[in-house]
Amino acid sequence: METLALDVELSEELQAMRAAVRSFVTGELGPWAEEIDRTGEIPEALYPVLQRNGYCGMRLPVEYGGGGLSLFQYCIALEEFSRLHRAFTIAANYSSGMTPMALTRHGTPEQKERYLPRFARGEIKSGFALTEPEAGSDPAGMRTRAERHGDTWVLNGRKHYISGGHVADVIMVMAVTDPQKRARGGITAFLVDRNTPGFKVTRVDTTIATDAIKLAELTFENCELPEGAVLGEVGAGFKVAMRSLNDGRLSVSCSCVGAAESLLSMATEHSKNRRTFGKLLAERQAIQWMLADSAMEIAAARALAYDTLRRLESGKNVGSAGSMCKLFCSEMVGRVVDRVVQIHGGMGVIRGFPVERFYRDVRHYRVGEGASEIQRIVIARDLLRGIDISE
């Protein structure tokens, strides 16, 4: 079920792409979703399936074996993946998310040749390490340091709540290289391979979401890195991180839209079949209003996300629109899933039913890629600086 016919605003190319991804998701990924829920892991055997069908390295340049997709196209793919299971968006991000795209934009020819073809083949996974015990969105609190010793950099510090950090083969790590400048030229991005001496995964946490989605604590103790591990310019890491996070916020936004639409479809079908006190749920005005409110919010979220993506593609400065999208869409899906659980009653809170798993999965969206409160700060700063957010 589609909530509103907003798809007519998509180009023919995007409509065809959506149809192809949806066919793949509905036709081939169902058994994989069941295995993920059963084992609590994203199986390694899934990645060759994604690669054969063109879903590894979707955004990477064609010359490195990638799909060459735009951010808008990639977001459409994630929207479709999220209709079935959030773990598929995680798997896609391992090869097309923040670190692979930062490599595409800022990497040296040697770095690109070393990593991008392997991402495109689904052979390696990426991670992005920014958050620390005393610093998440606040660079002033970052404690991880990298000091130059001759031809090498020595990295010391700790990162935590790193999505997929326990399985990542290469991680983009943000570290302070000039304590005086910090976000104004004192933070540098480094590429750290999994087998680098001094690097350890010291803790793995299972989240409120599906067991396959885990967060890791990473420790760096006198971790020596060559000069070639610097991604981009020394001191420019904060800009690299912010560009990566903005892309991530838009992909999260579309993932929220896909999950919400799937949930609304479940609730609509359930209300047509479930009887209480001699009447179908669908005949009850309270249920109708919950469905109507959800449809309205999904339509608004999709319109906001798609409009922002279109403006980005046309080269416009969208200001804090990425934060608006992430904030609105992540809070929207939280309201939708709460209604859908309520409509399902007891079935909505029992482990093993998709509605219950969605309820846990989507809660993370209001925290990851910058919590809702951080997005409000970003938006307010734009307003107070007099930036026209409608440009």
As given in the structure block, the two tokens for residue 184 are: 């104004």
Q: Which residues contact 267 (CB under 8 A, 6 or more apart)?
A: 290, 291, 294, 339, 340, 343, 344
Q: Residue 8, class by beta-carbon neighbours within 10 Å (0-12 exposed, 13-18 middle, 19+ buried)?
A: exposed
Cβ density class 27-64: b for 16+ within 10 Å, e for less: eebeebbebbbeeeebeeebbebbbeebbbbbbbeeeb
Q: CA-to-CA distance for 44 and 51, rounded, in angstroms? A: 12
- Which helix H or strand E contains 188, and what residues bound it? strand 187-193
Helix (H, G, I), strand (E, B) or coil at 130: coil
* Active-site residue, 261 included: no
In the chain, count of helices (H) and strands (E)? 12, 10
Active-site position among 217, 261, 297, 369? 369
Q: CA-to-CA distance for 322 and 250, rounded, in angstroms? A: 6
Q: Are 62 and 116 in contact (CB under 8 A)?
A: no
Q: CA-to-CA distance for 330 and 135, rounded, in angstroms? A: 22
Active site residues: 369
